[in-house]
Structure 1
Amino acid sequence: MTKAVRVHEVGGPEVMRIEEVDLAPPGRGEVLVRNRAIGVNFIDTYFRSGAYAAPLLPFTPGNEAAGEVVELGKGVKDFKIGDRVAYQAALGAYAEARIVGADRLVKLPKSISYETAASMLLKGLTAQYLLRRTFKVKAGDTILVHAAAGGVGLILCQWAKALGAHVIGTVGGPEKAKLARKAGAKHVILYREEDFAARVKEITKGRLCDVVYDGVGKTTFPASLDCLRHFGLFVSFGAASGQIEAFNMGLLSAKGSLFATRPSLHTYSEKPKDLQKMARDLFKVVSSGAVAVSAHKTFPLSEVVAVHRALESRETTGATILIP
């Protein structure tokens, strides 16, 4: 038996409750992990609310955590009992322990704590594919990061700066602006007070951006397209303000033969070898100090309802983790 957050019907944060659930032994290729720290991500609210359909009801939210291996299934060769690991996997992380496919696990270096790993794995792997694969950012590029003080945004700003890019960030208020600047955004735009597209044009002296990374969605589209140079890339990787509605593809032509993509971490990390490579890249920049990741706040698992309320009201900055 293990304690886990369960959702029996989709809805507001109040639909989550902690229950005792049976936990079968790990099967072939699986590992039992005792969670020490659990990552909280905006996508968790999508599944809980029904915006994204969970495979079945009831379900346990959460896609990432860090902990230790306590039992091995048959055929697992790359891990042993006691290994410190982290994972980004299917739903089920909001629990004291869970079964995870060994191909979804990554070993933690000594320099990475459980709390740091849970704070950054999903967000950091997202930043990795956005910066190194969806658009390979290089020195001299100009990038726009929406929600620059959010969990992914702060990592994007730091990592992009380390790569030599010029970073422009948008945030919702002065306190978040301080965080974005500290993370490496050379220019920060208060999107509630300013026309961010006009400010980007002013900041870049009309040259605009090579790429826009947008985890906000509905409220920043289509103005984000006005921030891109000809042949620039619009990357929509989240929808904190709601999904972008269908639009005429001719808009991309009219704005300068632009490219647009809606990538997902699932696709980029689907192959185990890609996941391991991405994780090594992430751990390297964190261990070097180029990217600093710290939990904004830590809460006991029992306070999960309050955590989701704060997340959806945009009261959080950086990363938030749950401790079982």
Structure 2
Amino acid sequence: MPKRIQISQHGGPEVMQIIDAAIPEPAADEVVVENKAIGINYIDTYVRSGLYPASLPSGLGTEAAGVVKSVGEGVTTVKVGDRVVYAQSALGAYSEYHAVAADKLALLPDAISFEQAAASFLKGLTVHYLLRQTYVVQPDETFLFQAAAGGVGLIACQWAKALGAHLIGTVGSAEKAARAKEAGAWETINYREEDVAKRVLELTNGKKVRVVYDSVGKDTWEASLDCLQRRGLMVSFGNASGPVTGVNLSTLTQKGSLYVTRPSLNGYITNADALTQASNELFSLIASGAIKVEVPEQQKFALTDAQQAHKTLQSRATQGSCLLIP
């Protein structure tokens, strides 16, 4: 029987169970995908823990790449045998087969492997909406990106370099600093050893930056605000250290009439046309080599090892993306 990961209660990695599940039948406008590689994302830990509510029992994961197994009534955009990738499915991508709405699928170019796609699609689309839509980063512009050696961060480093922009990336070790610089970061700051806001001030000759991208959350909130120019934009798009709570709006006034936004992919990729536009730009950069997607062997886990995968991800010991392989 095909396998899938399911949670019946919220909690730590131990609540994930491997169960038998029949191959689903596609409903109208749905496609069943045989997953070949499954993306693991930090947001999956939020669903598992209950930070992001889900009806229980529930599957986990929204991103994978694979081959179309069957199509439902009304589907004309893909056919059986097509190579596809998705990042915005209903929960349940941690599985051998998953039913996905057809308008959430992108055709995968032959030049990009299933593992490359699953390791980069959600993260790449995230970087697209961050750097190309939430705030349009310009050539030669300097900005701060917290957690630059993570899966999203390493793609952001490469994308920033392709744009001709100067990304200052925060990292937690010398090894991660080297990885971020290799990917295209202009400068790095080791937040364990350096004062981030002070270092940004030095790197920008006292000007600070117009935008900060922060997926860490609670632990970096104040430091990120302190890196912004007057009327700068704080883009808070994740909660790796816990959610930002109890925000005093007058703090934004005191620090320079700052702006704050809390965007999500689903707020930007809202239809098939938007998905096609963003994915085409991402695929073009990957195919050209401007964005390289490599997953270390130690960050590839069998589907049955999902618990260990989440433990490893949350240890902050990873660099780049992690995958489940059915």
User: Shorter-chain TM-score: what band?
Assistant: over 0.9
Alignment match, 1:298: 300
Query: Aligned partner of 1:303: which letter?
Result: D
Letter in structure 1 aligned against 2:71: L
Report the equivalent of 1:312: 314
The aligned counterpart of 2:172 is: 172
- Structure 1 residue 258: Cα displacement: 1.5
TM-superposed CA distance for 1:29, in Å, is: 0.3
Give the SS at the match of 2:3.
Answer: strand
Give the alignment of 1:1-324 within 5 angstroms: 2-54=2-54, 56-88=55-87, 89-296=89-296, 297-324=299-326
Cα-Cα RMSD: 1.0
Over residues 172-215 of structure 1, what are the superposed CA-to-partner deviations in whole Å (9 max), with x where a residue is unaligned?
A: 11111111111111211110111100010011110111210101
State the 1:126 CA deviation.
Answer: 0.2
Tell me, in whole angstroms, the C-alpha distance in 2 between the residues paired with 1:168 and 1:295.
23
How far apart, CA to CA, are the structure 1 residues paired with 2:310 and 2:81? 31
Q: Secondary structure at the match of 1:180?
A: helix
- 2:2 maps to a residue whose letter is T
Deviations 1:8-62 (A, max 9, x none): 11111011111002343101101110000000001111111111101x1111101
Aligned partner of residue 123 in structure 2, secondary structure? helix
Aligned residue for 1:159, secondary structure, equals helix
Point out where structure 2 has 5 or more consecutive residues left out of the alignment.
none
Identity of aligned residues (%): 53
Secondary structure of the 2:58 match is coil
> Match for 2:97: what amino acid?
A
Which piece of structure 1 moves more, 293-302 or 103-112?
Answer: 293-302
- What is the TM-score when the length of structure 2 is the normalising length? 0.97
Q: Which amino acid aligns with 1:242?
A: G
Q: Determine the C-alpha separation between the residues in 2 that align with 1:196 and 1:210.
A: 15
Distance 2:8 2:248 in 1: 38
- The residue type paired with residue 237 of structure 2 is F
State the alpha-carbon separation in 1 of the partners of residues 274 and 286 from structure 2: 18
Equivalent-residue separation in structure 1 for 2:48 and 2:247 (angstroms): 27
Q: What SS does the corresponding residue of 1:246 show, helix, strand or coil?
A: coil
Could you give the per-residue CA deviations for residues 103-134 of structure 1, whole angstroms, max 9, x where no partner exists? 10000011111000000010000000000000
Work out whether residues 86 and 106 of structure 2, in 8 Å CA contact, stay in contact via their aligned partners in 1.
yes
Quick check: 289-298 or 79-88, which moved more?
Answer: 289-298
Consecutive unaligned residues in structure 1, runs of 5 or more: none
Q: What is the alpha-carbon distance in structure 1 between the residues aligned to residue 71 and residue 251 of structure 2?
A: 52
Shift of 1:166: 1.1
Q: Could you list the per-position Cα deviations for residues 258-280 of structure 1 after superposition, in whole angstroms to 9, with x for gaps in the alignment?
A: 11100000111122211111111
